Chains A and B, each alone.
Chain A
Amino acid sequence: MTTAHDAPESQGFRLSQLIYDTRYRSLTIQVVVFFIVMAFVGWLVDNTIQNLSALGKDFNFSFLSQRAGYDIGNAIIPYNNDMTHGRALLVGLINTLWISFLGCVAATIIGIFVGVLRLSKNWLVARLMTVYVEVFRNIPVLLWILVAIALLTEAAPAPNAYKINPTTGEASASMILDSIAFTNRYTAIPSIHFDRSLGVIDTALAPISLNVLAIVALLIASLWVNKRVLTHAANMQEATGVRPTTWWKSALILIVPMVALLFALGFNPDEPVLQGFNFKNGTNVSNSFVALWLGLTLYTAAFIAEIVRAGILAISKGQTEAAYALGLRPNRTMNLVILPQALRVIIPPLISQYLNLTKNSSLAIAVGYLELRGTLGGITLNQTGRELEAISLMMLIYLAISLSISGVMNVYNNRVKLKER
């Protein structure tokens, strides 16, 4: 039998096989790399421990339960300087999430508009959008934030300009509609006041207003009923070919109960009044917040516009032509045919823009808006001297936020992506 004769003799396992035998080589490389990486990590950890002990410092997080002692100008949840560093961290975290949320929403809306308009056949509109995109995405976001705060601070009058001068009988600045005042510190806007308030539930995290809860519950209920009406209309259209008029039903369902509830609660705006140095009663939206929000939004929107444009261009022209052939008007073609398909291309890079915006919100320190970087990574770190603990905790939190955004967006992406059958 020749076949048996040709088989190589079994020589057992030799060490050189680890390098020269393709069956083992990749495993060898992986093991070696793993050990090098682990050794490096171990060296870093050990070095840190040694340096800390040389400085006489330990690694613990007990500072989080100590009294913070400092004030935060723009806390959303109740906070005062008797609360702990942990509470200050939470205030900062909520500010981070709030600015990121508002930034992402505004950047998406602006980005989609700009992206679509950049493809407009109108020469002027398309060029204007090109200029916007190129100018904003090619200058660092920090500069945009600083430009925004400089404009807001230098252009608006000080609050005392709204005071009536006793000699002339006039104020040098006047409020818009008697309810909005732009100042070089903040914009004073009316706050919402309920004459017949339902009260608040006190939780450890933050007091929850029952009024807001009732409004949100009603809004969800109205939307749900409205959706039922629309589904019913769609079914009728499927069955008979005639779509019943729904606009007045929708208007009735969405508006009437809300107006009734607001009336029952005694809703009225509380207008800001200048008292002493500053405006009271209303809500003061600080310039640092507006500047940060503007900077982050306009910068990120420029990137989102490009992503949207790329998404639209990725859809074959045949789709548009087919839609036109069916008699769809251009804006319906965009909304019903192009954008739904383009979303599949748009969503994945959009996720990274949301993550970027969230991480860029840490630039708030430049304008003194105290978010996570400003409280935990700024004042708490300085007052307690716990650099390593504060920074590693901050990194963990940003990591958790980013992974959560990524996770939620991936779920959404799975829903809109092409279903293969």
Chain B
Amino acid sequence: MKKSVFFGALTAATLTAGLAGAATLDDVKSRGELICGVNTGLVGFAAPDANGNWSGFDVAICQAVAAAVLGDASKVKYVPTTGQTRFTALGSGEVDVLARNTTWTFSRDTDLKLQFTATNYYDGQGFMVRKDSGVTSAKELDGASVCIQTGTTTELNLADYFKANNMSYQPITVDSNAEGEQQFLAGACDAYTTDASGLAATRAAFANPSDYVILPEIISKEPLAPAVRQGDDQWTDIVRWTIFALIAAEEYGVTSANIDELAKGTENPEVNRLLGTEGDLGAMIGLDKTWAVNAIKANGNYGEIFAATIGEQTPIGLARGLNAQWTQGGLMYAPPFR
């Protein structure tokens, strides 16, 4: 720039400008609170109850990270974000971690300067229709009006799917899941499309869930992963390994019920390293020895969180499927704690 000399004189002033800081860990510690970007309301994943307390699958990740970093799972501030605002909220430093059923894609990882930590839910895009419409396959949706959340990968998958199958459709753009739900229930669209987990969660909140069917076609891969800003490797490691700790805990049978017992030391060196009784993995990422113990204590291991928020015993009723442990034929696989 030609005016660089002029601007050079002003750099002193810019020191006060709120640069998206590199050391997120220090920020969180000094603030004493983790700021977590979550969905504006998706039952089972992130939704506030009548008292304003957030709960859900994504919320549990936030709580585990808060427990690992601050030792207290309740020290989380939830910032509801829409599909449109989420990346700006993360990029600008408004939130420390974005746990908002966000699909890990190439361009988001590279061009949007995000860092996806670890997939916590393997999902795919599906369609929901009214049962009385008689539609049993997504291939029968030619000419249909489809409600679609803007700013999501599902928007692009939908366009690709209909083109690949040589079908036409009328997109009805909505801004949030709540608006999509309302439009779908009012009959303004024949089908509602989003991640299959999101459809199940949405349907669970309907007055008559059995009047609606989720079509069998899954038209995309949607690995949902909590994301952080690029350029802060330590913070990325913390969030990533907290998720792995939850997954590994399930694999080794560490639950919220037996963790106090196991934390005194076990026969299994891997469990000992995870729970901090052998070696000091916590120090390598700038945390206490008991970081993983705290994280697991918050809401239990991955399997416990899944069962309590979105599992088959809940109204949402999702099977483990791809999200089972690798030893059970699923894709959940934590790298070794060594």
A73 touches B171 (CB 8 A): yes
Q: How far is the CA of A277 from the CA of B20 in the complex (A)?
A: 49
How far, in Å, is A290 (CB) from chain B's closest CB?
Answer: 13
State whether A43 and B151 are in contact (beta carbons under 8 Å apart), knowing that A278-B143, A374-B173 are contacts in the complex: no
The residues in A between 269 and 285 inclusive whose CB is less than 8 angstroms from any CB of B are 275-278, 280, 284
- The one of B7, B173, B187 in contact with A73, judged by C-beta atoms closer than 8 angstroms, is B173
Does B113 sit within 8 A of A, measured CB to CB? yes
A184 touches B143 (CB 8 A): no
**Chain-A contact segment, one of B32-40, B80-88, B319-327:** B80-88
Inter-chain pairs besides A69-B159, A184-B186, A184-B187, 5 sampled, C-beta below 8 Å = A70-B155, A158-B187, A185-B172, A368-B150, A378-B84
B113 touches A55 (CB 8 A): yes
Q: How far is the CA of A50 from the CA of B10 in the complex (A)?
A: 12
Contacts of A368 in B (CB 8 A): 150, 172-175
CB closest residue in chain B, given A276 = B143
The residues in B between 84 and 127 inclusive whose CB is less than 8 angstroms from any CB of A are 84, 87-88, 91, 107-108, 111-113
User: Could you give, for residues 247-291 of chain A, a 1 whenever the CB lies within 8 Å of some chain B CB and a 0 otherwise?
Assistant: 000000000000000000000000000011110100010010000
Q: How far is the CA of A42 from the CA of B7 in the complex (A)?
A: 6
Does A241 sit within 8 A of B, measured CB to CB? no
Does A379 sit within 8 A of B, measured CB to CB? yes
Does A387 sit within 8 A of B, measured CB to CB? yes
Does A39 sit within 8 A of B, measured CB to CB? yes
How far, in Å, is A395 (CB) from chain B's closest CB?
Answer: 16
The residues in B between 133 and 189 inclusive whose CB is less than 8 angstroms from any CB of A are 133, 141-145, 150-152, 155-156, 158-160, 163, 169-175, 183, 186-189
Contacts of B159 in A (CB 8 A): 69-71, 81
Does B231 sit within 8 A of A, measured CB to CB? yes
Q: How far is the CA of A387 from the CA of B91 in the complex (A)?
A: 11
Q: How far is the CA of A55 from the CA of B113 in the complex (A)?
A: 7
The residues in A between 347 and 396 inclusive whose CB is less than 8 angstroms from any CB of B are 365-366, 368, 370, 374, 378-379, 381-385, 387
Q: How far is the CA of A354 from the CA of B187 in the complex (A)?
A: 35
- The one of B91, B144, B183, B186 in contact with A276, judged by C-beta atoms closer than 8 angstroms, is B144
**Chain-A contact segment, one of B11-19, B202-210, B284-292:** B11-19
User: Could you give, for residues 43-77 of chain A, a 1 whenever the CB lies within 8 Å of some chain B CB and a 0 otherwise?
Assistant: 10111011100111100000000000111110000
A280 touches B143 (CB 8 A): yes
How far, in Å, is B158 (CB) from chain A's closest CB?
Answer: 8
Does B264 sit within 8 A of A, measured CB to CB? no
Q: Please tell me the size bucket of the interface on A.
A: 35 or more
A45 touches B7 (CB 8 A): yes
User: Would you list 24 pairs from A and B whose C-beta atoms are within 8 A, ordered by A residue?
Assistant: A46-B14, A47-B14, A51-B20, A55-B231, A56-B113, A56-B231, A71-B169, A81-B163, A153-B186, A153-B188, A184-B186, A277-B141, A277-B143, A278-B143, A278-B144, A278-B145, A278-B170, A284-B170, A366-B175, A368-B174, A382-B84, A383-B155, A383-B156, A385-B87
Does A154 sit within 8 A of B, measured CB to CB? yes
Contacts of A69 in B (CB 8 A): 156, 159-160
Contacts of A154 in B (CB 8 A): 186
The residues in A between 87 and 130 inclusive whose CB is less than 8 angstroms from any CB of B are none
B87 touches A365 (CB 8 A): no
The residues in B between 8 and 32 inclusive whose CB is less than 8 angstroms from any CB of A are 10-11, 13-14, 17, 19-20
Contacts of A284 in B (CB 8 A): 170
Does B220 sit within 8 A of A, measured CB to CB? no
CB closest residue in chain B, given A48 = B17
A42 touches B143 (CB 8 A): no
A382 touches B83 (CB 8 A): yes
CB closest residue in chain A, given B147 = A368
Contacts of B170 in A (CB 8 A): 73, 185, 278, 284
How far, in Å, is A15 (CB) from chain B's closest CB?
Answer: 23
Q: How far is the CA of A53 from the CA of B108 in the complex (A)?
A: 17
A185 touches B151 (CB 8 A): no
Does B230 sit within 8 A of A, measured CB to CB? yes
Contacts of A378 in B (CB 8 A): 84, 150-151
The residues in B between 58 and 91 inclusive whose CB is less than 8 angstroms from any CB of A are 83-84, 87-88, 91
A184 touches B188 (CB 8 A): yes
Contacts of A365 in B (CB 8 A): 175
A-B residue pairs, 8 tightest by C-beta: A382-B151, A158-B187, A385-B112, A368-B173, A81-B159, A276-B143, A46-B7, A277-B144
Q: How far is the CA of A56 from the CA of B111 in the complex (A)?
A: 9
Contacts of A277 in B (CB 8 A): 141, 143-145, 190
Contacts of A275 in B (CB 8 A): 143
State whether A55 and B172 are in contact (beta carbons under 8 Å apart), knowing that A39-B10, A277-B144 are contacts in the complex: no
How far, in Å, is B15 (CB) from chain A's closest CB?
Answer: 10
Contacts of B156 in A (CB 8 A): 69-70, 383
User: Could you give, for residues 226-250 of chain A, a 1 whenever the CB lies within 8 Å of some chain B CB and a 0 otherwise?
Assistant: 0000000000000000000000000
Most chain B CB within 10 A, of A54, A55, A275, A370, is at A55
- The one of A42, A153, A382 in contact with B150, judged by C-beta atoms closer than 8 angstroms, is A382
Q: How far is the CA of A185 from the CA of B186 in the complex (A)?
A: 10
